[in-house]
Structure 1
Amino acid sequence: MEKQVVDGLREVFQSGRSRPLQYRKQQLRALLRLITERQGDIEQALKQDLNRSMYNTSLFELISIENDIKVAERDMVDWAAPQPVKKNLNSALDDVYIKPEPLGVVLIIGTWNYPWAMILQPLVGAIAAGNAAVVKPSELSEHSARLMKELLPLYLDKEMYQVVTGGIPETQELLKQRFDHIFYTGSSTVGKLVMEAAARHLTPVTLELGGKSPCYIDKNCDIAVACRRITWGKFANCGQTCIAPDYILCEPSIQDRIIEEIQKTLLEFYQKDPKSSPDYCRIINTRHFDRVLALMNECTIALGGESDRSQCYIAPTVLKDVLPHFKIMQEEIFGPLLPIITVNDLSEAINFINAREKPLALYVFSSDKTVIKRMLTETTSGGVTVNDVLMHYTVDTLPFGGVGNSGMGRYHGRHTFNQLSHHRACLIKSFAMEGLNDARYPPLTAARLRKAKFFMQHRWCSCSGICVWAVIATILAVGLLVALIVVLI
């Protein structure tokens, strides 16, 4: 079945249906109608999957999707236009440009923590770039997957965009097919399997993975504001966010103050009982519940720690005096547990970060520009936000993606379009001025080589042809003037 789906999409893509920009805009408008007209259904599905409120669904998924659609529709003509490049003297009179072209059939494999954004945001870029696409939502967010399977064919061209649901067997069967690009969001472990399968067809991949995103709090900062922002970013979606702060690094002298401020913020955000708060989500299933709960072994609980397996509920929890060898520091938490590791100074914090895999995100809170500069200069990560968390994700002009073990490739806004396009190098020459080509034709001589070197190594300006012809006309005029002077003398 999966092979028939892919073959059918490829046949329609090769017919050229998605080449016109107007077609792509129509599909994007239809996708926007899906989001606006069926928002209530989407909210209900996420309530069932993650106990997420309608307000959090809009804040964390739907607003970003709508923005990406509107940006793509508005700017697509500019994105898809040929991009002139600088020329050398050898190509001064030629058309030289980069032309973005559709890749073909794209596979988008989403994840369960943000099941709509992680599918539809890459799909926006695939549509804008002119590709056909297969989308594979996670089976763990089953209500969202079922709804997506139902809704997408009602709004989008079902001969160009199809939804495949199911679990591991269906995903494995999809990965056996030849795609022109695979866009995967999920864990590093599965990301390696996706890349291995893609290698069999030499298919390029975008891997949006995760990791342990550090959060350094400098003693010279507004600790109350820092803890308020960290608490929001860590415990939103019950900690199940790939760029959530995974752990805090701070000096021992401010650990108790941090715990105190987080406690105040938790009370403000979720009142005395987070379990009854409409803004507090649940762990996706009992398997992940058991995994997250086991990470607290050997840790000292400073705040929270309560749980209810029947509801997949784990309270917002802060763990103090955590040591680097603890189990919780060996894997991405992906849950509402926030360990605090104490370090003696900034240098030790930087060394701690650099001794581990490159994270998807890095956060630093400080009022000291020197501290900020050192953290930015001496570490690396997919993205970084200073004095806040998560918010770099919301800037559609910034590329979002990982580095090393946290992923490869980037997306959001134009970056998604570029990621899912082939950037074709184009050189259009005329039959005129053939004499200039003598330098590259046999029989080669030292003089011809010097001439070829001169024309190939010297850049011409990248402005319009009018400028080129004006310069040539000037050269000819000067030559004629010199010749006239010689004759008159």
Structure 2
Amino acid sequence: MDIKALVQEQKSFFQNGLTAKADFRKYSLVRLKKSIEDYEEDILEALKLDLGKSKTEAYMTELATVYGEIEYFRRNIKKLMKVKRSNFSPATFPSKGRIYSEGYGSVLIMSPWNYPFQLAIMPLIGAIAGGNCAVVKPSAYAAHTSKIVKKIIETTFDEEYVACVTGGREENSMLLEEPFDYIFFTGGAEVGREVLRKAAENIIPVTLELGGKSPVIVEKTADVDIAARRIVWGKYLNCGQTCVAPDYVLVDKSLKDEFVKKSISYIEAMYGSDPIKSKNYGKIVNSKHLLRLEDNLKGQSILYGGSFDMEAGKLEPTIVDEPDLSSRLMSEEIFGPIMPIIAYENIEEAYKIISRRPKPLALYMFTGNKKAAEEVISKLQFGGGCINDTIMHLATDMPFGGVGNSGMGAYHGKKSYDTFTREKSILVKGSSLDVPFRYSVDKSAKPGSLGLKLMRALGDERRLKIIRFLMK
């Protein structure tokens, strides 16, 4: 595929105005949903091959969210596209202000391997809803799912509208050399910096959905049973390979022993006494990441788990006790089924541990104290999160995105539309009145002159009646 020619074809297609029409956008989304439904079994099988996902987990985390997003835009696209009225300004009387939304043009969407279907298609839905053309670049690490993504796109759209480019680093580099009108990247911070650097060369706006060490605080008033169950679910979902997975747990010292005991109980309830053999437990994406996790566990105090099956690509759910805060395990995003547990004496100690690290993509607190919940929200900066749950803020149409090292920009629901469109402000000026003093400020600015009185009045809406009276 000639990537340079493809981008130019998309820019030409965008200019013909078809993507600006609400009916075209809606029709495109309906076609996309139909294609996904047609290939649903193939998608589930690909996710099983790439990440060992069970059908239940794959449908819940990859397909259900996609269907929900398409339905949101199917119902709301015309409302979102409606021209907005601007507030009246006396300074421009008589006039009308209108704000139009329009797509950027050709959008590059670069998706990761951990949720290889959802994170390729969710941004695409927003790009289509916003009236753009798009090139989707799925991850080479999830090869089976990438093939299905490519097949769905190619059977649903002409490449001058939506295309899919597969491959590895060479293809990534080639794409980043092209003058796209917008780049949406999901992945690690290291590659994200390179995307940002290349985008800056062509002054291309970007959204970066990155990651980070997302902490959990189990405060002294928490329901420990609920906390353990929901943290275990969120941590070991997709074998911990989730950008908003609970990375480490800060638990009040008085609750630690009970929390550990209940966490082990829920691990075995969800995955059995031998999780590696469980059909509901996935695998690490490749040997490179498995070896990285093995290295991270060296020298750690393991309370539970820690066994590997290198041939199957699996590490059983693992709990680590009080890791050194300067260790590799606590210095980089874990992205695997390892849960460090750290006890704290008071809540301020927990805040200090979090605030000394880069701003996380997510933060979770379990508490029965409303003031404690409000305090953590106001004191710490993080992308988003939950009180008394984990991960489930992604199951809403609220904006999702990071801050600082965990990313820039956001999407989901209306925010996806906002992300993939820009606002164009238009002033429509009336011709029935043309005040002469605006063309000759020096002459009209004499003390006591009508022009000066008008200029002063123009900055105050309370004097609008005066203006209208003088203009009769």
Match of 2:15 in 1: 14
Give the Å deviation of 1:263: 0.8
- Secondary structure of the residue aligned to 1:162 is strand
Give the Å deviation of 1:351: 1.4
Q: Give distance in 2, aligned partners of 1:185 and 1:360.
A: 12
Matches within 5 A, 1:223-302: 223-302=224-303
The AA in structure 1 aligned to 2:417 is: F
The AA in structure 1 aligned to 2:224 is: I
Summarize the Cα distance change of 1:92–1:313 in structure 2 as closer, same or farther, 3 Å threshold.
Answer: same
Identity %: 35
Q: Give distance in 2, aligned partners of 1:224 and 1:362.
A: 19
Matches within 5 A, 1:68-107: 68-107=69-108
Structure 1 unmatched runs, 5+: 461-467, 481-489
Matched, 1:137 2:138: yes
Give the Å deviation of 1:9: 1.0
**Residues 307 and 315 of structure 1 are in contact (CA less than 8 Å); yes or no, is this contact kept in structure 2?**
yes
The AA in structure 2 aligned to 1:458 is: E
Summarize the Cα distance change of 1:86–1:269 in structure 2 as closer, same or farther, 3 Å threshold.
Answer: same
Give the Å deviation of 1:479: 11
Q: Give distance in 1, aligned partners of 2:454 and 2:287.
A: 73
Match of 2:437 in 1: 438
Give the Å deviation of 1:302: 0.5
The AA in structure 2 aligned to 1:379 is: L
In structure 2, which of residues 442, 455, 459 is the aligned counterpart of residue 452 of structure 1? 455
**Residues 6 and 160 of structure 2 are in contact (CA less than 8 Å); yes or no, is this contact kept in structure 1?**
no
TM superposition score normalised by structure 1: 0.92
**Residues 64 and 117 of structure 1 are in contact (CA less than 8 Å); yes or no, is this contact kept in structure 2?**
yes
Match of 2:409 in 1: 409
Give the Å deviation of 1:252: 2.6
Q: How big is each residue's C-alpha offset from its partner over 1:408-437, in whole Å with a ceiling of 9 and x where there is no partner?
A: 0010011011111011111111211112x5
Q: Give distance in 1, aligned partners of 2:254 and 2:262.
A: 14
Q: Give distance in 1, aligned partners of 2:460 and 2:310.
A: 69
Summarize the Cα distance change of 1:214–1:442 in structure 2 as closer, same or farther, 3 Å threshold.
Answer: same
Q: How big is each residue's C-alpha offset from its partner over 1:101-123, in whole Å with a ceiling of 9 and x where there is no partner?
A: 11100000000000111111110
Q: Give distance in 1, aligned partners of 2:80 and 2:222.
A: 41
Match of 2:323 in 1: 322
- Secondary structure of the residue aligned to 2:358 is coil
The AA in structure 2 aligned to 1:195 is: L
Moved more, 16-25 or 151-160: 151-160
Match of 2:428 in 1: 428
Give the Å deviation of 1:454: 2.2
Q: Give distance in 1, aligned partners of 2:385 and 2:293.
A: 26
Give the Å deviation of 1:85: 2.0
The AA in structure 1 aligned to 2:440 is: Y
- Secondary structure of the residue aligned to 1:18 is helix
Structure 2 unmatched runs, 5+: none
Match of 1:204 in 2: 205
**Residues 86 and 459 of structure 1 are in contact (CA less than 8 Å); yes or no, is this contact kept in structure 2?**
no
- Secondary structure of the residue aligned to 2:69 is helix
Q: How big is each residue's C-alpha offset from its partner over 1:147-203, in whole Å with a ceiling of 9 and x where there is no partner?
A: 211221111233200000000010001000001110000001110000000001000
Summarize the Cα distance change of 1:457–1:169 in structure 2 as closer, same or farther, 3 Å threshold.
Answer: farther
Moved more, 335-344 or 399-408: 335-344
Q: How big is each residue's C-alpha offset from its partner over 1:118-149, in whole Å with a ceiling of 9 and x where there is no partner?
A: 11111011101110000000000000111211
TM superposition score normalised by structure 2: 0.95
Match of 2:220 in 1: 219
- Secondary structure of the residue aligned to 2:226 is helix
Q: Give distance in 2, aligned partners of 1:24 and 1:441.
A: 49
Match of 2:32 in 1: 31
Moved more, 25-34 or 270-279: 270-279
The AA in structure 1 aligned to 2:231 is: I
- Secondary structure of the residue aligned to 1:238 is helix
Moved more, 102-111 or 156-165: 156-165
- Secondary structure of the residue aligned to 1:332 is coil
Q: Give distance in 2, aligned partners of 1:441 and 1:119.
A: 57
The AA in structure 2 aligned to 1:114 is: Y
Match of 2:189 in 1: 188
**Residues 89 and 459 of structure 1 are in contact (CA less than 8 Å); yes or no, is this contact kept in structure 2?**
no
Moved more, 410-419 or 245-254: 245-254
Number of corresponding residues: 467
Give the Å deviation of 1:251: 2.6
**Residues 457 and 466 of structure 2 are in contact (CA less than 8 Å); yes or no, is this contact kept in structure 1?**
no
Q: Give distance in 2, aligned partners of 1:309 and 1:441.
A: 81
The AA in structure 2 aligned to 1:95 is: K
**Residues 88 and 459 of structure 1 are in contact (CA less than 8 Å); yes or no, is this contact kept in structure 2?**
no
Q: Give distance in 2, aligned partners of 1:450 and 1:58.
A: 67
